[in-house]
Amino acid sequence: MDLEETREKRPPVTPMMIEEEAALRNGSRGLPPGSWAEAAGPRPRTTERHIAVHKRLVLGFAVSILALLAVTMIAVLLSVRFEECSAAADGPPRGSGNGSLPGAARQPSGAGQPPGRPEQEEENEARGGEVAEEEEEEEWQRRRELPPWTRPRLPQHLRPLHYNLMLSAFMENFTFSGEVNVQLEVLNASRYIVLHAHRMHIEAVRVAEDKLAGGVRVDRSFFYPQTQVFVVVLNRSLEVQKSYNLKIIYNALIENELLGFFRSSYVLHGERRFLGVTQFSPTHARKAFPCFDEPIYKATFKISIRHQATYLSLSNMPVETSVFEEDGWVTDHFSQTPLMSTYYLAWAVCNFTYRETVTKSGVVVRLYARPDAIRRGSGDYALNITRRLIEFYEDYFKVPYSLPKLDLLAVPKHPYAAMENWGLSVFVEQRILLDPSISSISYLLDVTMVIVHELCHQWFGDLVTPVWWEDVWLKEGFAHYFEFVGTDYLYPGWNMEKQRFLTDVLHEVMLLDGLASSHPVSQEVQQATDIDRVFDWIAYKKGAALIRMLANFMGHSVFQMGLQDYLTIHKYGNAARNDLWNTLSKALKRVGKSVNIQQVMDQWTLQMGYPVITILGNETTDNVIVISQERFVYDIDAKPKDPALGDSSYLWQIPLTIAVGNTSHISSEAIIWVSNKSEHHKIPALEEASWLLGNINQTGYFRVNYDIRNWRLLINQLTRNHEVISVSNRAGLIDDAFNLARAGYLPQNIPLEIIRYLSEEKDFLPWHAASRALYPLDKLLDRAENYNVFNEYILRQVASMYLKLGWPMNNLNKSLVQASYQHEELRREVIMLACSFGNKHCHQQAATLISDWISSNRNRIPLNVRDIVYCTGVSLMDEDVWEFIWMKFHSITAVSEKKILLEALTCSDDRNLLNRLLNLSLNSEVVLDQDAIDVIIHVARNPHGRDLAWKFFREKWKILNARYGEALFMNSKLISGVTEFLNTEEELRELKNFIKSYEGGAAVSFSRAVETVEANVRWKKLYKEELFQWLRKSLTH
C-alpha cells in the first residue's frame, strides 16, 4: 500500500575502515605489532666494514627506536579500536554530509552524539566503504551465490532472543540516541551478522560471546540501502548453538513525518507542544533501532527511555522503575515484554494526562490524550467500552489478555486510524475522542468499530502473529470481521454482523475484487515494496468476508471452538493459513463433520476475484435447475493480470444456500456445494409461480444472477410484499442487480425497477445498499447532458419516504446512543439522498438551519445530519457561508466536528474556493497530513471540482508521493479517490500519459486506476443511452 523511498545516501566510513580495507586487500586484517615492527624497522648491516660507530648515528638510531615504539603502541591501540567499527548510516535522511545529527552540540551531557567530522574525511570513508562492499560482493559472485545482505529476506543463520534497548529522546531538537544489545542464537555458522537498520547514524558495533570474556573481532560493517540492512563482518564465524551479544550504539532524527519514531504536535493555551510516537508496522522499526524486522523473529524486549522530566514515556509494558537525575532528566525502565515481533513494539514521549479503569481480570486500562481533551471527558466513552471489550474477548476466545495493562494513546497526527501495538495502541484523535454533546451516531459507530478492531489484534496479530506478510489477512481479516461481532456485543439491537457487514464490507470489497487487476487475499511477498502492497481492502475486507462465510458454513459455535484452539496452540508464536485450516478441520471432526477446510479455502484465498453464480430454470425438466459459475469481472475486455490463467480457468467450491418462495412465504434454506462449471440440481416444490433465491442472507462471497423470468418474479414479490424476503437478501438483491448491470450481465433497467419498491421499505439496510449502489452510477452520469432525467427518477423513489420520516428534532440534550438506531440511520440515509439529488424542501431546510446558526451563533442543527446540512448549505449558499464554515473549522476543538466541517468545504460549487482549499490542504499547519488526502478526494467527488482535483493531483504528485509514499493505504487511497470517477476518453488518455511520465512507485494502484477508468468509459459507450431511454420512458408513465 505504499512506496519505498529511492533516494539513498552511501554510508560514510571511517579512516579506520579504509585501513582495514587495505589490510583485507593484502590478504589479512593487518600484521600483529611484532611483525609490523620487523617489517617497518631499519635492518642492521652485518658486514664488519660497514659499521662505523659515531655519536650522531647512535643518537639517530635511538630516535628511530623511540619512533618505532610509538608507532607500535598506536598499532596496538588501533587493533583494540577495530573491535568498534564506526560506520555512518545512509545519513540522516535530510541532513548534510556531516555524520552527526543537527543540534548535537546543544544536547545535554550524556547525549552520546558524535562531533562533526571534516567533509574530506567523510568522502574518503565513503569511497573506502564502497570499494570494500564491491569486493565483498565480487567474492560472493565468484562463489555463484547472492550475498546475504542483497536478498529480500534476512538470512536464517541467526535468531534474536532478547533485545535490551536504551533510548535518550531530545525533544528540543527532535533527535534521539540509542544503545541496543541483542542476544543472538546461532543456528548456522557464519561470519556475517545481517539485520535491518535504516536512516540512522551508527557510532559503534561490538560483538561478544555470552558469559565469556573477550569479544569477537569486527572486521568492518556497512549499510546496504537497497534492502535496508546493516551488515557486520566478523574475523571468524560464529559457532552453532552458542549465543552472542551484539551491541550497537546509534542516533537518528525524530522525524517530521508519519513512520518510524516521529513527532507530532498540538496547541494548548496558545502554546505549541510536541510529542514523539512510533509507527513500526509493517517495516519501520528498523528506522528506530537496528533489529531483525520480520514478524517471524519474535524476541523479548527490555526498554529504557531517558527524557526530560517535563515529559512522560510510555511503552508496551508498565514502568518498572524511574531514575531521576539532578539535571531535570529521568530514565523510565519498563518491564520485560513477552515474546513479540518488532512491528508492534512501541513507545511514546509526551506530556499527556490520562484516565483509568480496570477490567474484572485486573487489566489496567488507561487512555492518554491532550490535557484539555481528558478534562472534557472526550476519552471516557473509549475507555469504558475498552474495558468491556477486553472482558468480551477473554470470554469469547477463552484466552486471557496477556499483558498487565493496555494504554490507548490519542495523537493528533498518525498515518492510520489506529495501530494495535501490544499494550500501547495508538489512535488518531478523530477515531477515539468523542464528545457526546456534538457527536453523531455514525461518528460514535466509527469510533466504536476502530476500537473493537484494534483490541481484537491483541489476540489476532500480537499474541498469534502471521509467519509472513503474505498472510496479513490472518490478522487484518479477523480484526475486521470482529469489528461487527464486537459491536453487536456492545449494541445487540444494531445487527452489525448480519446486516451492516453487507454494505460496509461485502459490497464494498466486491467492487474492488471485481477488477481484472485484483489479487488473491494471500499473495506472494518477495520485495520490500510487496509488503506494503498487501495491506489493502482485499486483505482487510475480503479476508473478513471469507471468515464470515467460513463461520456460517461451519456453524458459529464450532467456528468459535476452532478459534479458541488456534489461539491456545499458537500463542506467543507465529502461524500460517494452513495452521488455521488444520485447527478448524479438527474442530469440525469433533462434532462429527468431515470437511477439508484447506481444500475449500485455498481456492478462495489463493485465487483472485470471486464467482458469479447463475441459476437458470430448466424448461424441459420439472424441478431441475442449472447452476453455473464463472469469474465475475466488470470489464470483460480488461486484460487478466495473469494471461496464462484466463477467467475460464477459475473454479471455486461454493457453499450455495438456496430457498424457494412465493407471494406469501419462503422455504427453509438448503445448501448445495457447487464445485463444477455447470451442474444440474433437483429442487423440490418448485412451482410455476415460485421464485428462487440464492445466497441466503448473503453469507457467501459471490454474486447470484438469475434468468429474466426469476428476476421479474423477485421484483413483483418486492412490490407486493417485500417482507417475505429477509432484510439482508433485499439489500443483496439491490447490490447484485446494480453491479451485474454495470458489468453487462443484466439489462440496465432491472436494478432501477427493483428500487421502485423502496417507497414502502422501512428498514435501513436496503436503503443503505441502494444509496451505495446508486453512488457510482450517479458519478458516471453527473456531468452528462441528460443527468436531470436520472436525477428526477431517483427523487421520485425517495420523495414519499422523505415526507413520512421528516427531519430529526434538535437532540443536544438527548443521549447520544438512541434506542432507535435503525430508524435514525434510515432517516439520515433518506435525507442524504433527498438533499444530494435536489429535493427542494430538503435544500430549504438545510439553508434555514445554516442561516439560523450564522445569525444566532448557536448550532441547533441535529447531530445526526450535521454533515449533510453543512455540505448542502455550502453548495447552495454564497461565499460568506463557506468563510463561516472555514472560520468554525479553525476555532472548534472537538475533533469529530472539525472533520465534518473540513469535508463540507469541499461541497462548494465555486471553483475558485475549491482551488483555494486544494492549495491550503498541503499546509500542515492548516490541515493535518492525514486529512489532506480526504480534502483532495472529496473535491474529486464534487462534479464541479473533479477536473480541478485531477489537475492538482498531477501537478503536486511529487509532493504527495514524498509525503505519503511510505504510508500504508494512503497513496492507494489517494490514487483511487482522485481517478475512480474519471469517465471520458480524454481523462483516460491523461491518466495513461501521466503514468508514463511520473516518477515513483504505486504501480499496482495506477494499474487498478486505469482499469477502473477504462470500465467507466466502456460502460458509458455501451449502456448510457440504453439507461436514459428507459428512464425517459419510465418518467412519462
Spatial CB neighbours of 449, under 8 Å, sequence gap ≥ 6: 483, 484, 487
CA 72 to chain centre: 57
Order of strands, edge to edge, in the sheet holding 312-315? 260-268, 271-279, 347-350, 312-315
Which residues share a beta bridge with 227?
A: none
Q: At residue 482, what is the residue type?
A: F
Pairing, β 201-209 against β 243-253: antiparallel
Distance of alpha carbon 219 from alpha carbon 23, whole angstroms: 10
- Please state the φ and ψ torsions of residue 743, each to the nearest 5 degrees: -90, -5
Residue whose entry in the numeric block shows the C-alpha cell 573491535: 83
The candidate with the shortest Cα–Cα distance to 502, out of 673, 726, 655, is: 726
Q: How far apart (Å, rounded) are the C-alpha atoms in residues 857 and 296?
A: 57
User: Is-contact 691 717, C-beta < 8 A?
Assistant: yes
Residues 915, 919, 924, 926, Cα dihedral to 10°: -50
How far is it between the farthest Cα atoms of the chain?
132
For residue 184, the tally of other CB atoms under 10 A from its CB is: 23
Closest-CA residue to 953 (of 975, 929, 930): 975
786 CA to centre of own chain = 40
> Is the C-alpha dihedral spanning 856, 862, 867, 868 positive or negative?
negative
Alpha-carbon distance of 123 to 973, in angstroms, equals 41
Active site residue 122: no
Q: What are the beta bridge partners of residue 213?
A: none
Q: How far lies 370's CA from each of 305, 347, 350, 382, 893, in Å?
A: 21, 17, 9, 15, 11
- Between CA 466 and CA 454 the distance in angstroms is 16
Q: Which of 454, 761, 966, 990 is catalytic?
A: 454
For the chain, how far is it from start to end, CA to CA, in angstroms?
49
The C-alpha angle 353, 358, 360, rounded to 5 degrees, equals 170
Can you tell me which residue has the cell 489517494? 974
Residue of 565, 512, 570, 515 whose CA lies nearest to 541: 512
How many other CB atoms are there within 10 angstroms of residue 133's CB atom?
A: 21
Kind of pairing between the strands at 464-466 and 573-575? parallel
C-alpha distances in Å from residue 387, one per residue of 476, 567, 1004: 22, 21, 40
C-alpha angle 456-459-461 in degrees, rounded to nearest 5: 90
Residue 263's contacts (CB-CB under 8 Å, 6 or more residues apart) are 171, 174, 254, 255, 256, 274, 275, 276, 277
Q: What is the rounded distance in angstroms from the CA atom of residue 731 to the CA atom of residue 737? A: 10
Question: Cα–Cα distance between 873 and 868 in angstroms, integer?
Answer: 8
Helices (H), 722-783: 727-742, 749-754, 764-781
Residue type, 54: H
Q: Cβ contacts of residue 69 below 8 Å, gap of 6+? A: none
CB contact at 8 A, 222 and 148: no
- What the block records as the C-alpha cell of 536 is 489493502
Q: How many CB atoms lie within 10 A of CB 318?
A: 15
At residue 70, φ and ψ (nearest 5 deg) are: -65, -45
Tell me the catalytic residues: 454
